[in-house]
Amino acid sequence: MRPDSFEESLRNSLDGFEPGGAAEAWNAIESRVLANNESYLSQKRKLNYSKAALAMVGIGLAIAAWWVNPFSDSSSPSDIAQATTPVVTPPESKQEAMAVVQDEPKSEDAEVESPSKEVRSIPTAATETPAKQSTKAVAKPATDDHIQKPVVSSPVWQISTPVLCQGESVDWKISGNRDEELTVLVNNRKLNSKEKQFTFKKAGNYEIALAKKNKKDWQVIDTKKVVVHPRGGAEFSYDKQKDYQAPIVAFNSLSTSESTKWYIDDYLVSESPETSHLFRNKGRYSVKLVTENENGCKDSSVQTIRILRAYNLMASSVFNPDQEKWMPIGLKGNKNIFELQILNPNGEIIFKSNDAKKEWDGTDVNAVKQKAPNGEMYLWVAKVTDSKGMVMEYGGSILVSYYSED
């Protein structure tokens, strides 16, 4: 029954009853009823506040337990349930509890949910089965065995080639740990630490080693084998012919190499061990021989040849038409292609030939007797193309003389 209904019922029952001096008693009763109502409402509010606070504390504890360690293998489902269920402190005595329940109307119990119901409504994500929890990754405490220690890498070095020829060099490159003092040894001979290559002046088998500095000496880290092949040599000899009209020089290689190449002023003239060459002009010439042996090792040597007189096809400068025919010796028996012209003193062409067998017999169609007169001076010009396509021009004068030296 509500307090206002109780008051109204009491008033109705006492309506018309007015004993003497009852006004003061009635006022006292009314004051006590109002005081009891106010005390009841205050206790009810405190109880509701306490229930709500306990429910919120339980929810907060459950969420905190699930958030901090949702995947721990060390917690069983029962432990997790205990951790997420708040502990509700009971009233100090059963009488207080009974008093609270008796004073509270039944209609209000349906409106306020118990703390246990609110706790049961918390999500159960933290209460996974042990089978699922076993699949989660567990962070293990770090021990001395699991601490990663820094790895110190050994120096790594590479050489350019293990096989080379006499006089060639080997380069190397060192990478990796460079905190140590390193050097290279060639047949146990220490090199300067700043050197990055070594030239082998002699043929033979060599051992190159990489070493690091210890307290007193050097410790070899790695070794590599190197083979140095000898060169085949490129010495040669030459011989000048005594006929100065034909400055031909013969060359002979003194090397045992398989391949030989002859160069005159950087121009390749032959690939035979023995060869000869005709020098057309006077001057100095550089003759170079390049050889290569079976190991692929090359060698070379250079000599200077001096030619004192120009070649000029060994053409004669005096001609007697009564005794001979005229043709430069350099064009006779030569397979080169040529074109020869002879001109009179007036610059007129009186003879042409591109065949070594077609020689000039002294005929001059412009002369009085169609024959070159005695003491006349003629000019000649020849263009010669050799087997390699080079074109050379030659020329000179011819003195006609019918008198023999006899």
Q: Poorest-confidence range of 11-25, 173-187, 271-285, 360-374? A: 11-25
**pLDDT(165) > 50:** yes
Query: In 3D, which of 356, 325, 326 has the Cα closest to residue 338?
Result: 356
Mean pLDDT of 387-391: 80
**Full-prediction pTM beyond 0.85?**
no
Query: In 3D, which of 215, 224, 186, 182 has the Cα closest to residue 202?
Result: 186
Looking at residue 320, what DSSP letter applies?
Answer: -
Write the DSSP assignment of 100-149 as a string of letters. Answer: HHHHS-HHHHTTS--HHHHHHTS--TT---HHHHTTS--PPPP-TTTSPP
- Could you confirm whether domain 156-229 is CATH 2.60.40.1930? yes
Contacts of 125 (CB under 8 A, 6+ apart): 66, 70
User: What's the pLDDT at 336?
Assistant: 76
From CA 125, how far away is CA 108, in angstroms rounded? Answer: 33
User: What's the pLDDT at 303?
Assistant: 96
Looking at residue 373, what DSSP letter applies?
Answer: P
From CA 319, how far away is CA 359, in angstroms rounded? Answer: 12
What pairs with residue 278 in β-bridges? 248
pLDDT band at residue 354 under the 50/70/90 scheme = very high
Return the CATH fold of 312-400: Immunoglobulin-like (2.60.40)
Contacts of 325 (CB under 8 A, 6+ apart): 359, 360, 361, 362
pLDDT band at residue 177 under the 50/70/90 scheme = low
pLDDT band at residue 398 under the 50/70/90 scheme = very high
User: What's the pLDDT at 23?
Assistant: 62
Q: Poorest-confidence range of 154-168, 226-240, 243-257? A: 243-257
pLDDT band at residue 404 under the 50/70/90 scheme = low
Pick the CATH number of 236-307 from 2.60.40.10, 3.40.50.300, 3.40.50.970, 2.60.40.1510: 2.60.40.10
Return the number of other C-beta atoms located less than 10 Å from residue 127's C-beta.
Answer: 19
Sign of CA dihedral 116, 117, 123, 124: positive
Mean pLDDT, the chain, whole residue set: 76
Task: Give the residue extent of every domain in the chain.
Answer: 3-133, 156-229, 236-307, 312-400
pLDDT band at residue 282 under the 50/70/90 scheme = confident
Fold equal for 156-229 and 236-307: yes
